Amino acid sequence: MNSAALQNTSYKRFDWAGLAWMFLFFWYFSGVTHLLLQITGATTFVGFRQAMVMSLLWLIPPMLFPHKTKAIAAVTGLVLWVFSLFSLGYFCIYQQEFSQSVIFIIFESNTAEASEYVAQYFVWWMIPAMLAYTAVAVYLWSRIRPLYLPRSRAWIASLLILATLFGYPLYKSMIVKKLQMELVMETLRNRMEPATPWHMIMGYLNYREQLGNMQELLAANSRIPPLAKLQDASAGQPSTLVLVIGESTNRQHLSLYGYPRPTTPKLDAMRGELEVFNNVVAPRPYTIETLQQVLTFADQENPGLYKTQPSLLNLMKQAGYKTYWITNQQTMTKRNTMLTTFSQQTDEQYYLNNSRAQNSRQYDNVVLEPFAKILQDTHPRKFIVVHLLGTHMKYEYRYPAEYEKFRDRNGAPDWLTDAQLPQYNSYDNAVLYNDYVVSSLIDSFSKTEPNGFLVYFADHGEDVFDSPPHSFIGRNEAKPTLPMYAVPFIVWVSDKWKTTHPHDFSKTLDRPYSTSHFIHTWSDLAGLSFDGFDPEKSLISEKFKEHPLLVGDPDAKKPLTDLRSFISKPKNKAAGGK
């Protein structure tokens, strides 16, 4: 028989070139977008690698049914092509990777706005680019030829591919790491997601799941009774109050706090108008865990209260404010569900970061335009939350090239090794860019001559080789250091507001304070009181009482640590604190 003869000859010399063409064809539909993401430096290499490996999957059907190779490749290719147009189109418009957050935005935001956005970014060259993209796909398909190999070998090769793609990760997560089934499936989904068509399928599944979780949290929040006896010292007056939440910024790296490098020139220049608090720390070194306390009545001693008591957003709405949430943090990820829930408690949201991977390039200046727009809103009472990406890892993805000011050892501590220096420098550059963003927010706010104030602090700090033995970068709750918790905390108050809400901040600036009690400080600043308001927990109150600065995981068995013992340690001041 003819095909038997063919199989026999190919048994002797395998058609490697044929295999390469076939792989190239299937890889193409994920690869082009990933290649562009790499070339433009939009994200890390992980997605590229995963997409490449996952493309092996499509080799299996044509290997098992070689006489149908062309038809199988055509059908698979057509499906992949359709799905890939979404990620490639999305890249052309936003220079970013498609993610479940994009699906969330499409379904949850008003569609007129979404189509307006696409129209705004649509450029003529996208049509010929798509045609060229399709033409290359057709050409690659024309080069595909059947790979005849003995049946047993085809099966072995297929099983090897399946083992690489699924068997090994399953073995690692189930047997080695002993993860729960839910987490095992999540790991697998995350591995598949970068490749077409899984970016759409897994993206949609993730979106549905997280939407469900979020809706449950929102429903629970809506059942919480309002605060009793709410009184507003500025009731009926027009006012605009702004809360800017930063990210991973250790105050010891700000020249505003005495750091030798000029990392905050703009805030330094504004210093006379700012109340700069020197001893504020975060309760937890992680975004969600800390904001769960910052934005609610929960604290380290009562960590569950965020589920049963109104949030800061609920409070401001109850006080008659129109509430807004502008965020440059990832929109819809499993980890961020609680955050998205907070945002959904406000009246209007601006989601500006739809990256799939957290460590993607994204600059905070995107918040400035919606912020300026909201300031023009005619509603007399506005409460605006701006959530920045700040100085989150990867630091070099947080600022454009113009802000790459710190490149050498100048002003850097001696203990830094040559290997550590680039990351240390890019952290300081990120702080410099954060200075621009925060000062621009204050500038644009003050220009409207508002009746109100703006508070800025970071959700937590970051240890950038700062603590002895200077080998650790990041945050680790199990091994707390002051830089992981020490945050900048500044307040800008408008002249109008000062006349009706006089405060002498000077005696309060050095108070040791944890942002876990922030809701009391905010209420005090805003002139709000209610059952449950505790002036002893307000940083600016005359009745303020010093509380322990508890850090650690309140759900763990280990006792919490009082960070005040760290503040007196002189070695922690080495990173520039005066």
* Long-range interactions of 166-172: CB distance < 8 A, separation 24+: none
Q: Is 326 helix (H, G, I), strand (E, B) or coil?
A: strand
CB of 329 to Zn ion, least distance (A): 8
CB contact set of 573 (below 8 Å; sequence gap of 6+): 252
Complex with Zn ion: residue 278 or 358, whichever CB lies closer: 358
Beta carbon nearer to Zn ion, 76 or 290:
290
Binding pattern for the stretch 400-439 against Zn ion, x by CB under 5 A and - elsewhere: ----------------------------------------
Instruction: Give the nearer residue to Zn ion in terms of CB position, either 457 or 533.
Output: 457
Nearer to Zn ion, 287 or 538 (CB): 287
Coil, strand, or helix at residue 327? strand
Q: Is the separation of the CB atoms in 545 and 514 below 8 Å?
A: no
Name the one range near Zn ion by CB under 5 A: 69-77, 213-221, 249-257, 458-466.
458-466
Cα–Cα distance, 506 to 508 (Å, whole number)? 5
User: By C-beta, is 48 or 489 nearer to Zn ion?
Assistant: 489
The CB-of-247 to Zn ion minimum distance in angstroms stands at 5
Stretch that binds Zn ion, among 170-178, 321-329, 451-459, 478-486 (CB under 5 A): 451-459
Backbone angles phi and psi of 352, in degrees to 5: -110, -5
Nearest distance in Å: CB 459, Zn ion: 4
Stretch that binds Zn ion, among 61-69, 199-207, 242-250, 261-269 (CB under 5 A): 242-250
Task: Write out the H or E segment, with its range, that includes residue 464.
Answer: strand 463-464
Measured distance CA(356)–CA(481) in Å, rounded: 30
SS3 183: helix
Only segment of 14-22, 152-160, 241-249, 344-352 that touches Zn ion (CB under 5 A): 241-249
Contact in structure between 481 and 566 (CB atoms under 8 Å):
yes
Smallest gap, in angstroms, from Cβ of residue 475 to Zn ion?
8
In angstroms, give the least distance from the CB of 248 to Zn ion: 5
129: helix, strand or coil: helix
The residue (of 459 and 477) whose beta carbon lies closer to Zn ion is 459
Binding of Zn ion by 287 (CB under 5 A): yes
Closer residue to Zn ion in complex, CB, 247/466 = 247
The CA distance from 16 to 26, in Å, is: 16
User: Contacts with Zn ion: how many residues (CB under 5 A)?
Assistant: 3
Q: Taking the complex as a whole, how short is the minimal distance between the CB of residue 460 and Zn ion, in angstroms?
A: 5
Residue in this structure with the two tokens 């700040």, named with its chain if needed: 390
Stretch that binds Zn ion, among 70-78, 96-104, 454-462, 506-514 (CB under 5 A): 454-462
- Cβ burial of 105 (10 Å; 0-12, 13-18, 19+) is buried
Q: State which residue, 92 or 388, has the beta carbon closest to Zn ion.
A: 388
Is the separation of the CB atoms in 294 and 516 below 8 Å?
yes
In which residue are the tokens 């063919």 written? 6
The residue number whose beta carbon is nearest to Zn ion equals 287
Least Å from the CB of residue 330 to Zn ion: 11
Cβ atoms of 144 and 73 within 8 Å: the answer is yes
| Contacting Zn ion within 288-317 (CB under 5 A) | none
Closest contact distance (angstroms) between CB of 96 and Zn ion is 21
Q: Provide the minimum distance between the beta carbon of 292 and Zn ion in the complex, in angstroms, as a whole number.
A: 12
Rounded distance between C-alpha atoms, residue 514 and residue 80, angstroms: 51
CB atoms within 10 A of CB 496: 15
- At 323, the amino acid letter reads T
Nearer Cβ to Zn ion (287/451): 287
Based on CB atoms, which residue is closest to Zn ion, 92 or 281? 281
> Residue 299 or residue 459: which is nearer to Zn ion going by CB?
459
Smallest separation (angstroms) from Zn ion to the CB of 311: 18
CA 399 – CA 388 distance, rounded (Å): 13
Among 289, 459, 466, 524, binds Zn ion (CB under 5 A): 459
The minimum distance between CB 282 and Zn ion, in angstroms, equals 9
Quick one: 459 or 463, whose CB is closer to Zn ion?
459
Strand residue runs (E) in 203-279: 231-232, 239-246, 274-277
What is the C-alpha separation between 279 and 489, in angstroms, rounded? Answer: 8
Q: Is 336 in the site for Zn ion (CB under 5 A)?
A: no
Among residues 30 and 287, whose Cβ is nearest to Zn ion? 287
**What is the closest distance, in whole angstroms, from the C-beta atom of residue 289 to Zn ion in the complex?**
9
Q: Specify the stretch interacting with Zn ion by CB under 5 A; choose among 206-214, 216-224, 459-467, 544-552.
A: 459-467
Assess contact for 263 and 435: CB atoms under 8 A. yes
Residue 463 lies near Zn ion (rule: CB under 5 A): no
CA distance 203 to 197: 10
Can you tell me the distance from the alpha carbon of 478 to that of 413, in angstroms, rounded to the nearest whole number? 26
Q: How far is the CB of 390 from Zn ion (least distance, A)?
A: 8
Structure tokens belonging to residue 406: 């710190």
SS3 per-residue string spanning 71-113 = HHHHHHHHHHHHHHHHHHHHHHHHCCCCCHHHHHHHHHCCHHH
Q: Kindly compute the dihedral angle of the four CA atoms of residues 520, 522, 527, 532, in this order, to the nearest 10 degrees.
A: -20
Q: Mask 244-283, x = binds Zn ion (CB under 5 A)?
A: ---x------------------------------------
Query: Residues interacting with Zn ion, by CB under 5 A?
Result: 247, 287, 459
